[in-house]
Structure 1
Amino acid sequence: MAMGVGACSKGDAPPAAAPAAAAPIGASSYDTVAATAKGFSVGALMSAQPVYVLFDPQCPHCGHLWNASLPLHSKVKFVWVPIAFNSGKSLAQAAALLSASNPVEAMTAHETSLLAGTGGMSASSSIAPELEQAVKANTQLLVSLGVDSVPFILAKNRRTGEVVSNNGAMPTAALAQLLGVE
């Protein structure tokens, strides 16, 4: 089911809202992401079924999805997995977000700045090698799934247990429906 309102692709300047479609991803992909993705957890941290969101820090659609996810933080554990389609600002910001002491605060401030057109958080271009490797591995993970745009959501629906995925941003109600939460 296509619920997205937009997505950013590798090589894109952030596009106007582009149609996005659900990606055909199965349980093995969910398990692979769960085992290998390096991200930061927010929301209901004790939740047994995390929702993985692969995102590029320079993608405005990812910012819209972040904002849409905030009302669900009391019910859902989200693991935000930063990727970098380019090695410039995205890579530095992804590393900064991964190492933030308060990821919710850092991500909220970053997305507010990005959506206001001011480029997001300031981040040092001097990146610790382990953080750079983690972001590059996350980016390769996204590509290995056959996905070429973000935000990319991978989760298990709470009601059905079915693995669900979506490319693109979506409003809170549609996100809750995809995830099987009320």
Structure 2
Amino acid sequence: MKRLSGIYRNRCPVNPKSAPEEGWEKLEGSTWVQDGRPDAPRTVYVFTDPNCPYCHQFWTAARPWVESGKVQLRHVMVGVIRQDSPAKAAAILEAKSPEEALAENEHKYGDGGIVPLETISPAVAEKLEHNATLMTELGFSGTPAIVFRKADGSIGQMGGLPQDAALEMILGPK
């Protein structure tokens, strides 16, 4: 079972309008935390900051799809919102089980989330920097930033918190 992927295949900028498949490949090679079954029929990438209230709302809204096995969210962790965001993202990535650490952060979100690390290892700091750079390369300036395959197989992108029909477009039918 693959928890994290730390491979950086290609570091050149991606223009999402001209090369969406290249952007998808870069996401596959980024550092992410699996949320859902590895064999789920739908994969959705979401740039996630541990302090982002809209990321938390998306995580909560996606539970029916994730828990039913229909969707695997891949949280591409970034630390961009608050001063302790990188240390919280690092706490998730460096945990024995990043999946459990992500869930802990979300379950405790109202009480401040996961405890930030006092020191971020250079390796994890580099991964967080690469994730933040990729987020910008794909045209996003905030979180959540979501990349998904549409029903026709093409790649879609959405910044911000999706609701109603947009949520179903991203996650599929309940």
**Aligned mates of 1:172, 1:135 — CA distance in 2:** 31
Q: TM-score, normalised on structure 1?
A: 0.75
1:129 matched to 2:122? The reply is: yes
1:169 matched to 2:169? The reply is: no
- Deviation, 1:122, is 0.7
**Aligned mates of 2:171, 2:155 — CA distance in 1:** 9
Counterpart for residue 138 of structure 2: 145
**Aligned mates of 2:102, 2:164 — CA distance in 1:** 17
- Deviation, 1:79, is 0.8
1:34 matched to 2:23? The reply is: no
1:52 matched to 2:81? The reply is: no
Q: Deviations over 1:77-120 (max 9, x none)?
A: 21101111157311111111112333343223212333x2x322
- State whether residues 71 and 172 of structure 1, in contact with CA within 8 Å, keep that contact through their aligned partners in structure 2: no
Identify unmatched segments of 5+ residues in structure 1. 1-22
Counterpart for residue 84 of structure 1: 79
Counterpart for residue 3 of structure 2: none
Number of residue equivalences: 156
Identify unmatched segments of 5+ residues in structure 2. 1-15
**Aligned mates of 2:25, 2:162 — CA distance in 1:** 24
One-letter amino acid of the structure 2 residue matched with residue 81 of structure 1: V
Q: TM-score, normalised on structure 2?
A: 0.78
Identity %: 28
- Deviation, 1:32, is 2.1
Residue 111 (structure 1) aligned to one of 102, 106, 131: 106
- State whether residues 52 and 155 of structure 1, in contact with CA within 8 Å, keep that contact through their aligned partners in structure 2: yes
Structure 1 outlier segments of 4+, above 4 Å: none
Counterpart for residue 63 of structure 1: 56
Of 47-56 and 126-135, the range deviating more from structure 2: 47-56
Of 50-59 and 24-33, the range deviating more from structure 2: 24-33
Q: RMSD value over aligned CA atoms? A: 2.3
